Amino acid sequence: MEEKLIEFIIDEFLDDPDTEITQDTKLISSGLIDSFSLVSLQTYIEQEFGKKIPAPRITAESFDTVRQMVEVINQF
């Protein structure tokens, strides 16, 4: 799941496809992606993993790293 999320994030949000991202790279707080793009992530998670995460659980704080995202996703 982590790898797929990283691949999606690089493809969807970043201009440079060679950017290195790990599970613990800070994505939103670093300004790498903006919090407005969280909706794309929400849709992707639903389509790819079949998990419907309610919008209040997807925030700039709870979804700052891929590791955090997986933690939230696994609760559903």
Partner 1 sequence: MAYSNQTRLSYQNILKEIEDNGLYKNERIICDRQGAEVKVEFPAGSEQKELINMCSNNYLGLSSHPEVIKAAHEALDHRGYGLSSVRFICGTQDIHKELEARLSTFLGTEDTILFSSCFDANAAVFETLLDEKDIMISDRLVHASIIDGMRLAKAQHDTYKHSDMKHLRKKLEMYQDRPRKIIITDGVFSMDGDIAKLDEIVALAEEFDAMVFVDDSHATGFMGQKGKGVHELCDVMGKIDIITTTFGKALGGASGGCVSGRKELVDMLRQRGRPYLFSNTLAPTITMATMKVLDILEASTERRDKLEHNMKWWRKELSEAGYIIVPGDSPIVPIMLYDAKLAQLVSKDLYQEGVFAVGFFFPVVAKGQARIRTQLSAAHDQKHLDQALEAFTRIGKKYDILGKTKQDLIGT
Q: Which residues bind partner 1 (CB under 8 A)?
A: 13, 15, 31, 34, 36-37, 39-40, 43, 47
Q: How far is the CB of 31 from partner 1 (least distance, A)?
A: 4
User: Among candidates 53, 13, 10, 55, which has minimal Cα distance to 34?
Assistant: 13
**Residue with Cβ nearer partner 1 (3 or 31):** 31
CA distances from 5 to 19, 31, 42 (A): 14, 18, 11
**Residue with Cβ nearer partner 1 (59 or 74):** 59
**Residue with Cβ nearer partner 1 (38 or 69):** 38
Q: How far is the CB of 63 from partner 1 (least distance, A)?
A: 15
